[in-house]
Structure 1
Amino acid sequence: MPEQMENQQAEQVVRDGAEKIKGIFSTQSVSKVGTGTTQRRTIQKMYWSGEELDDGRIEVQPLNRNYVPSGPKQTIEREEFLAKYNPEPEFYMSTVYPAMKELDDTIVRGEKLRERGAAYSAEFEFKQATAVDEGNVRANFGLGLTYLDRGDQAKANDIFERIVGLDAAFEEEHKHLFNDFGINMRKNKMYDQALEYYLRAEELVTNDEHLLHNIARCYWEKGNAEGCKKYLRKSLEVNPNLKESKMFLEYLKSKGYMKGEGDEV
């Protein structure tokens, strides 16, 4: 959150103490423009958000033209980072923090409006946020959920296609939004999209019995009993005591879908 970074940025310069590296940094590259006597050198400065990981490597993410971290992240070795990246605490305080604060405030307004049922006002705020950072996970989930609340499947599908390509959408910090979005797609009978969404999550999320149960439900709602059984069993391999999956398998057994597979649920 921007508020947390505000208190850390001024003192988090690159150093070899106990404090991990975190903040806004810059790199410079030199290029030549023109030919012959008109040739000249230009220096291009690029800004990055950087944070040290537990293994000592540094994860960096570029700032977009609105000066908020956006786009693909990459990790580099600490030695390379120290050689090429320069801390920019003043730039953070004057430019990056205000931009991130305004983006966060916009998303919070959208979330509060959606909770109150003011869907069109929420849509406006989330669109403002995605105009600043197209890949912002919270803003995209908020916009998608707003469209699902309204039953606007066409627009919700556009957002679904964007979200399913965002690895960060399936990280632990966004789990509640991730779950809400999947559930609401199912409620809107967007079964194909919901299944694609959950199978994409399966590639990125390890041993989540509730995710596997939700995949089973999608298969069932699409009329695929074999896929349903497969994923119910997967969920129970992760958590043998998951009540929802045990009850679902019992239901399938009572309806004759388990014939020839023994009596074990």
Structure 2
Amino acid sequence: MTQSPQDAASARISGVFSQKKTAKIGTGTTARKTEVVTYFLVCERDDGQLDVQALTADDQPFGPKKQIGRDELLANYFPEPQKTLARQVSALSPKEMEIQKAVARGDKFRKRGESFTAEFEYNKALALDMGNVRANFGIGLCYIARGEQAKAREVFERVVHLDAAFQDEHKHLFNEFGINLRKAGMHDEAQEYYRRALDLSSEDENLHYNLARAAFGKGDVKAAAQALAACLALNPEHAEARQFVDYLKRKKNPDS
């Protein structure tokens, strides 16, 4: 018996799902772990792939869509049948449009080197959604570029607790932010940044390598060596990590 197109459409997945992750808040003796729940709107497409889009605090779809398969959905997401959207949105709401426009303008000005104008635009986006990943990354990069480390640290504290900041869709900004933290001499923040990323993706050898660079920048050779060992355990052919290990060996034994 074949399934009619109408039956197939009605069997498609469409609804709210969640992800639960443990986040570390604070450092040192004040550090504690808390469970963070993020909600997503999931809609199945004609080709069987699933569009996954984050939901804001007021249950509005926001940000780019990620495509996944059913296996990944079942493995990493939990259905939330009791949580229904106030309305089904096929397009961005006026608020979402305003946020995206402000962020886009901020990105444009930042790339031109007009950091104060970019900051103004990012702040407009953050006034509407303090958790907007692109706006947080953007304004943080403005502060770092201007050497305003106190303000950059405030942004860092927000970013490091946003799960979405460490997702693949923000990979370019994630990398740029981490590199700039290190280059600005904010080595403690850079190390915490990469450790936070490793909490969510411990099998990424590049994160271990970047952690090693941040640790070395602070002068902690032992921590750098440990991070490099973790990197090479995951990928023994990681060229940069092998070169870094050789450099540390020559530095320790200059006559060898």
What's the secondary structure of 1:249's corresponding residue?
A: helix
Paired position in structure 2 for 1:64: 58
Q: TM-score, normalised by structure 2?
A: 0.71
Distance 1:245 1:197 in 2: 19
Q: Which residue pairs with 2:113 in the alignment?
A: 117
Give the TM-score normalised by structure 1: 0.69
Q: Check 1:52–1:146 CA distance in 2 against 1; reply closer, same or farther (3 A cut).
A: same
Q: Which residue does the alignment assign to 1:77?
A: 79
Structure 1 position 224 matched with structure 2 position 220? yes
**Pairing 1:51–2:42 present:** yes
Distance change in 2, residues 1:173/1:226 (3 Å): same
Distance 1:151 1:62, change over 3 A: closer
How many angstroms apart in 1 are the aligned matches of 2:40 and 2:212?
A: 39
> Which residue in the other structure is 2:34 paired with?
none
Residue type at the aligned position of 1:51: V
CA distance in 1, matches of 2:250, 2:200: 34
- Equivalent in 126, 149, 153 of residue 149 of structure 2: 153
Say if 2:15 and 2:84, in contact at 8 Å, map to a contact too.
Answer: no
Contact conserved, 2:53 with 2:61, CA < 8 A, in 1?
no
Unaligned runs of 5+ in 1: 1-14, 24-47
Q: Which residue pairs with 1:178 in the alignment?
A: 174
Give the structure 1 partner of residue 201 of structure 2. 205
Structure 1 letter corresponding to 2:58: N
* Partner Cα distance (2:243, 2:201) in 1: 24
1:140-170: CA deviation from partner (whole Å, max 9, x where unpaired): 0001011111111111010001111111111
CA distance in 1, matches of 2:158, 2:85: 33
1:21 paired to 2:14: yes
Q: Give the Cα separation in 2 of the matches to 1:212 and 1:49.
A: 29
Tell me the C-alpha RMSD between the 2 structures. Answer: 3.3
> Which structure 2 segments of 5+ residues have no match?
1-8, 17-38, 64-75
| 8 Å Cα contact 2:54-2:62 kept in structure 1 | no
**Cα separation, 1, equivalents of 2:142 and 2:228:** 30
User: Which string of whole-angstrom CA distances, capped at 9 and with x for unpartnered residues, describes residues 51-109 of structure 1?
Assistant: 258999x98735439x6659xxx96536x35xx636724xx369x52221221111011
Q: 2:247 aligns with which of 247, 251, 256?
A: 251
* 2:55 partner SS: strand
- Contact 2:213/2:224, CA 8 A, preserved across alignment: yes
Provide the C-alpha distance between the structure 1 equivalents of 2:108 and 2:148, rounded to a whole number of angstroms.
Answer: 20
Distance 1:227 1:120, change over 3 A: same
Distance in 1 (CA, whole Å) between partners of 2:104 and 2:188 is: 30
Q: Residues 113 and 62 from structure 1, CA distance in 2 versus in 1: closer, same or farther, beyond 3 angstroms?
A: closer
Residue 190 and residue 86 in structure 1: after superposition, are their counterparts in 2 closer, same or farther (change >3 A)? closer
The runs of at least 4 aligned residues of structure 1 exceeding 6 Å deviation read 53-56
Aligned length in residues = 210
Q: Residues of 2 paired with 1:86 and 1:166: CA distance?
A: 22
- Report Cα offsets for 1:178-209 as digits up to 9, x if no partner: 11111101111001111111111110113212
Q: Which residue of 2 aligns with 1:131?
A: 127
Q: Does 1:164 align with 2:160?
A: yes
Counterpart AA for 1:21:
S
Q: Aligned-pair distance for 1:218?
A: 1.4
Give the SS at the match of 1:201.
Answer: helix
1:207-257 Cα distance to aligned partner (Å, 9 max, x none): 212111111111112221111111111111122121111111111111226
- Matches of 2:203 and 2:232, distance apart in 1: 10
**2: CA distance between counterparts of 1:60 and 1:108?**
19
